[in-house]
Amino acid sequence: MEKKLDKPEITHRLIELLGDNFSYEEIIIIGRRFHPDFEIKTAENQYGRLRLPPHAASEHLVNSLRNSGEISELLRFLIDLDCHSLNGREIRFCGLEDLLVVMRQFGIGYDLKKREFFLVSERECAPKWEECLQENKEYDFAYVSVDIVKSSEMALHEDIKLVERTVNALFDMIRISAIQYGGSIWSWQGDGGIIAFWGPQFATFSVYFSMEALGLLPLFNLKENAFKNDVTLRFGVDSGKTLYRNDKGNIISPNINFAAHLEKKCTEINSITISDRVYDELNEKQRTYFRESGELENRNYFSFSPTNFYSSSAKADEIGKHHDRSAVPKDAGDDNERPKRKRFF
């Protein structure tokens, strides 16, 4: 196990975790839990021995335990220390889950209940962040509320087997898109559900997922939809802190509720509505695709739909010219002489 844990990416994350969460004195205390005579030798001046910054001290500790083959024991100690006390201070780690996700990418999982490491097959090495989260600990999540618009009405006029086939195919499309952006389906009731995102860029990835799923819908209607009418979707997105529970049915979150309210009350068919918090997480370019659309529960919200996909960008006028038939000269001859339209995909 020590050899598998001896990866630069894992070591770097471990040093960051220690440096971000502990003082120089606390790092010395941790080191002496493993080696009673642990110390960090530094230079001296007239005021005494100099103290290293926490990250530099962390690097000394990690390198020392690497040499003695005790990195796994250090990791186990730190994981168990979360939400407990060290030297009279309660420890609530920032970044522990990120470290566990990186470990999983290298084929190493950690069972929080059994307190033991385990090897992960290559097929399972994609980050499964829910296995890295701890019960009753607060985390930042983004939530996407997805609704298949009027699915019950559509199903009334269709054969039950066709309904099941279409709904299952749509669910698979949504599930695969969500997985690609690190999303996890927390609830699904046939005509929609809640998909959660956590980790770096969680809000951005929730938006990317929503846009991708919406973009795949025309092809789905052509190839997979057995209904007479097209399937349409709505997406509502919000983010915020939530107390995590392994049993998703016990999770209470105003952000999940707000995402659902956005989707039901403020979103047109085949459109996405995001909250002010999600909008603030996007960069300047990403924001150009969303228009401020109104206010709900004293919060602003912003909308995206394919119909205004280009009009919000700086190139809207140029794109419009290439799609405007009047831009083609009247005396244009055969197709080879016509102005060529730009390709955007």
Q: What pLDDT, in 10s, does the model give residues 113-139?
A: 777 888 876 445 444 677 778 888 889
Together in a domain, 66 and 209: no
Which has the minimum average pLDDT: 126-130, 167-171, 257-261? Answer: 126-130
Which has the minimum average pLDDT: 156-160, 177-181, 222-226? Answer: 156-160
Number of separate domains in the chain: 2
Q: What pLDDT, in 10s, does the model give residues 201-221?
A: 899 999 999 999 999 999 999
Q: Give the Cβ contact number of residue 108 at 10 Å.
A: 21
Together in a domain, 48 and 144: no
Q: Residue 119: which H helix or E strand, with range? A: strand 116-119
Together in a domain, 148 and 260: yes
Together in a domain, 199 and 265: yes
Together in a domain, 27 and 92: yes
Which of these three, 132, 157, 181, is where a domain ends? 132
Closest CA to 207 of 283, 125, 120, 132: 283
CATH of the domain at 220: 3.30.70.1230
Which of these three, 114, 132, 150, is where a domain ends? 132
Q: Residue 59: which H helix or E strand, with range? A: helix 54-67
Domain-located, residue 340 = no
Say whether pTM exceeds 0.75: no
Residue 41 has pLDDT above 80, yes or no: no
CB contact at 8 A, 332 and 338: yes
Which range marks the domain in which residue 59 is found? 2-132
Together in a domain, 80 and 119: yes
Confidence label for 308 from pLDDT (cuts 50, 70 and 90): low
